[in-house]
């Protein structure tokens, strides 16, 4: 089924070696196994200085023909998507490859009827229902560029993203069910669109049946539009022929500056990479049921709920709700109900479920599980062992997959059951991935038992090609710190066996429950609150979230009630970014530790937030040492 699926450690080593001495030959051999309207002229063109990266240039394809059309003959009646609703007693849905093909074609025709053309940007703001996958694939079918925004972002965040990408159409739902909450998606979109003149049309899919306002001339119902194309007869929609380097999607992600950037992925390389990494890392076997608990609003959902599994003809399980609803046994009920074989989740979910003890796990039949995966943040050893012993019952390999929105797919990971695993370690790079560690001066750190900043020295097909509308930002962010290298922003150690352990971000990016949030972004939001003079945000270790958000805030006056002011600030952050960015702790201070040139010394704040008072490092450049004493006293 997958001729490029590695079957032994020796095969891995051989493939790795081959991918380094002849990257073009290596990737061309894999790309051969996809459906191309026309093969590429050149496998790779690259230069990390400009930067300019092209894979499979001149190749023509459509990713949806690879995800749908090519499976119809063999897998037409196999489930492509199994959908589990938020409420356990609501009907689940099974969508076969033929169903999915039909629905994607139908909705692609809806998009065309609504004026969407190749190259147009479409914003998708929906909950985890099959129509979300259908909408993204329908965009890809006609060559429109999708920009999915996670359902937890605020109106302001959506507006920023829509404006940056100049989207002409929005696809949303009346609302979304997530655990005990109903999220009023359409109403959030209405607020967002006040400042978005480029949006000419909004397509609203029914899910919660919550009342919504439908603006005449702008808003239409998904269901009505589908009826219209049904009456037109022929449901097929020919796939748009795309160049390998045409844009497939934009996904916004946080960096060390205030404004999230639009990471751009293109059609050919991304498809090959998402598929190769899916098939290999999880050792997917035909017929297996694969369950990734991410949301399609994040890169993990794009690559490992949608494009990776579907391009491999896999059965992908999509879950609308959250692991703790209606109780902390929900994931195990789902594994039991659908006989799930592969479970891919996040350390934060594991840690949170650990807190409920074994009650919710006992008496659940988890015997179908064969492989487990983790993604999004470093997994602590305790969580790793809990997952291994209590969920995998000691018989399932765990793949700790390190990668980023920017990398498009998994980079450093064990290959399930094929390469060794080690708790807390992402272990070895996949074939085609050339990691290197560098010190602060950009000098390569060689040998084993060393630490440094993690860079990649050679292109891989899934890497981002630019940041939307701002190529210079792309260059600055990823290729200017160390000349000739892609800089990941992560710190890393390589142990005595050459295994990699990712230790966390070395820039001002936080990882809260696996969500990337920039400290500058949170500071900007806090500073928008009336009465706030200045703020500084740092991360601190949090038992469940991995990192928590600690905000030091200078306020004009605490009005009369500091607690109320804190709540107001939380509300402001929720409005500007979304609830995921709300600080866990807010400490009012009269000043911030600054250097004589006015730079905030975050290192000191980080230490204080971690409770490490004695070891603040060099404080000789501090302008006002008394401030530090005051902050220490007030620590929460």
* Residue 117 CB neighbours (<10 A): 12
Complex with ligand 7RM: residue 294 or 536, whichever CB lies closer:
294
At closest approach, how far in Å is the CB of 481 from ligand 7RM? 14
Nearest to ligand 7RM of 141, 161 (CB atom) = 161
CB-based contacts of 172, cutoff 8 Å, min separation 6: 124, 125, 126, 185, 186, 189, 202, 203, 204, 205
- Which one, 106 or 419, has the nearer CB to ligand 7RM? 419
- Which is closer to ligand 7RM, CB of 71 or CB of 388? 388
Place of tokens 């199994």: 82
Nearer to ligand 7RM, 511 or 524 (CB): 511
Nearer to ligand 7RM, 277 or 511 (CB): 511
Q: Which of 298, 350, 275 is nearest to 71 (CA)?
A: 275
**Percentages helix, strand, coil for the chain, rounded to the nearest 5?**
35, 25, 40
Shortest Cβ contact with ligand 7RM: which residue? 405
> Site residues (CB under 6 A) for ligand 7RM?
253, 299-300, 375-378, 400-405, 426, 488-490, 502, 504-505, 511, 516
Nearer to ligand 7RM, 430 or 502 (CB): 502
Shortest Å, Cβ 493 to ligand 7RM: 12
Q: Minimum CB separation from ligand 7RM for residue 404, in Å?
A: 4
363 φ/ψ sector (left φ>0, alpha ψ -120 to 50, else beta): left
Residue 335's Cβ-side half-sphere holds a number of Cα atoms within 13 Å equal to: 26
Is the N-terminal amide bond of 326 cis, ω within 30° of 0? Answer: yes
- Compute the least distance from the CB of residue 612 to ligand 7RM, in Å: 21
Taking the complex as a whole, the smallest distance from the CB of residue 384 to ligand 7RM amounts, in Å, to: 11
- In angstroms, rounded to a whole number, what is the distance separating the alpha carbons of residues 334 and 332? 5
Residue (335 or 399) nearer to ligand 7RM, CB:
399
266 token code pair? 């293109």
Q: How far is the CB of 347 from ligand 7RM (least distance, A)?
A: 8
Q: Whose Cβ is closer to ligand 7RM: residue 426's or residue 580's?
A: 426
Q: How far is CA 184 from its chain centroid?
A: 23
CB of 304 to ligand 7RM, least distance (A): 9
Q: What are phi and psi of 160, to 5 degrees?
A: -55, -45
**Both tokens assigned to 110:** 């809806």
Answer for the pair 545, 512: CB distance below 8 angstroms, yes or no. Answer: yes
Tokens of 250: 């934009």
Least distance to ligand 7RM, CB of residue 97, Å: 26
Burial class (CB in 10 A: 0-12, 13-18, 19+), 46: middle
Closest distance to ligand 7RM from the beta carbon of 501 (Å): 8
How far apart are CB 387 and ligand 7RM at their closest, in Å? 13
> Contact 149/123 with Cβ under 8 angstroms?
yes
Instruction: Specify the long-range contacts of residues 328-331, CB closer than 8 Å, at least 24 apart.
Output: 328/352, 328/353, 328/356, 328/360, 329/359, 329/360, 329/361, 329/364, 330/88, 331/293
- Please say which residue, 107 or 460, places its beta carbon nearer to ligand 7RM: 460
């Amino acid at each position: 089924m997958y001729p490029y699926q590695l079957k032994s450690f020796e095969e891995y080593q051989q493939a790795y070696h081959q991918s380094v001495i002849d990257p073009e030959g290596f990737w061309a051999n894999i790309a051969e196994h996809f459906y191309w309207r026309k093969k590429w002229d050149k496998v790779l063109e690259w230069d990390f200085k400009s930067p300019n990266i092209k894979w499979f240039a001149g190749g023509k394809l459509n990713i949806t023909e690879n995800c749908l059309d090519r499976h119809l003959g063999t897998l037409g009646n196999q489930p492509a998507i199994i959908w589990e609703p938020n409420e356990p007693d609501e009907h689940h849905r099974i969508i076969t490859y033929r169903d999915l093909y039909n629905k994607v074609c139908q909705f692609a025709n809806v998009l065309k009827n609504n004026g969407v053309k190749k190259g147009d940007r479409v914003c998708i703001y929906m909950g985890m229902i099959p129509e979300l996958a259908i909408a993204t694939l329908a965009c890809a079918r006609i060559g429109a560029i999708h920009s999915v925004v996670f359902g937890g972002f605020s109106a302001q965040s959506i507006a920023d993203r829509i404006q940056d990408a100049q989207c002409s159409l929005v696809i949303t739902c009346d609302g979304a069910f997530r655990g005990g909450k109903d999220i009023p998606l359409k109403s959030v979109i209405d607020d967002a669109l006040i400042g978005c003149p480029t949006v000419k049309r909004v397509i609203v899919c029914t899910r919660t049946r919550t009342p919504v306002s439908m603006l005449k001339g702008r808003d239409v119902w998904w269901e009505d539009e589908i009826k219209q194309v049904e009456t037109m007869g022929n449901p097929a929609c020919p796939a748009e022929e795309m160049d390998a380097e045409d844009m497939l999607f934009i996904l916004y992600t946080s960096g060390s500056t205030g404004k999230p950037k639009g990471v751009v992925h293109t059609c050919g390389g991304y498809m090959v990479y998402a598929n190769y990494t899916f098939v290999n890392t999880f050792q997917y076997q035909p017929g297996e049921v694969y369950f990734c608990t991410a949301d399609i609003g994040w890169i993990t959902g794009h690559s490992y709920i949608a494009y990776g599994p579907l391009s491999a003809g896999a059965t992908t399980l999509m879950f609308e709700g959250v692991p703790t609803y209606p109780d902390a046994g929900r994931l195990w009920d789902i594994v039991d109900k659908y006989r799930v074989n592969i479970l891919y989740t996040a350390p934060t979910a594991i840690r949170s479920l650990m807190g409920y003890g074994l009650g919710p796990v006992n008496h659940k039949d988890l015997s179908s599980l064969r492989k487990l995966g983790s993604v999004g943040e470093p997994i602590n050893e305790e969580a790793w062992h809990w997952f291994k012993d209590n969920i995998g019952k000691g018989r399932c390999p765990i793949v700790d997959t390190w990668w980023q929105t920017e990398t498009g797919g998994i980079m450093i990971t064990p290959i399930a059951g094929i390469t060794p695993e080690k708790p807390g370690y992402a272990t070895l790079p996949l074939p085609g991935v050339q990691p290197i560690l560098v010190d602060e001066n950009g000098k390569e750190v060689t040998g084993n038992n060393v630490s440094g900043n993690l860079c990649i020295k050679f292109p891989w097909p899934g890497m981002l090609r630019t940041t939307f509308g701002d190529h210079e930002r792309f260059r600055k962010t990823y290729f200017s710190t160390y000349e000739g290298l892609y800089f990941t922003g992560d710190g890393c150690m390589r142990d005595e066996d050459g295994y990699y352990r990712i230790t966390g971000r070395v820039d001002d990016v936080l990882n809260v429950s696996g969500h990337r949030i920039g400290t500058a972004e949170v500071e900007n939001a806090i500073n928008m609150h009336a009465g706030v003079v200045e703020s500084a945000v740092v991360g601190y270790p949090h038992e469940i979230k991995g990192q928590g958000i600690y905000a030091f805030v200078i306020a004009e006056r605490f009005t009369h009630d500091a607690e109320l002011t804190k709540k107001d600030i939380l509300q402001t952050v929720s409005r500007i970014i979304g609830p995921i960015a709300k600080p866990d702790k807010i400490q009012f201070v009269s000043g911030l530790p600054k250097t004589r040139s006015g730079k905030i010394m975050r290192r000191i704040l980080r230490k204080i937030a971690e409770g490490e008072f004695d070891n603040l490092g060099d404080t000789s450049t501090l302008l006002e040492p008394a401030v530090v004493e005051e902050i220490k006293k007030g620590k929460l």
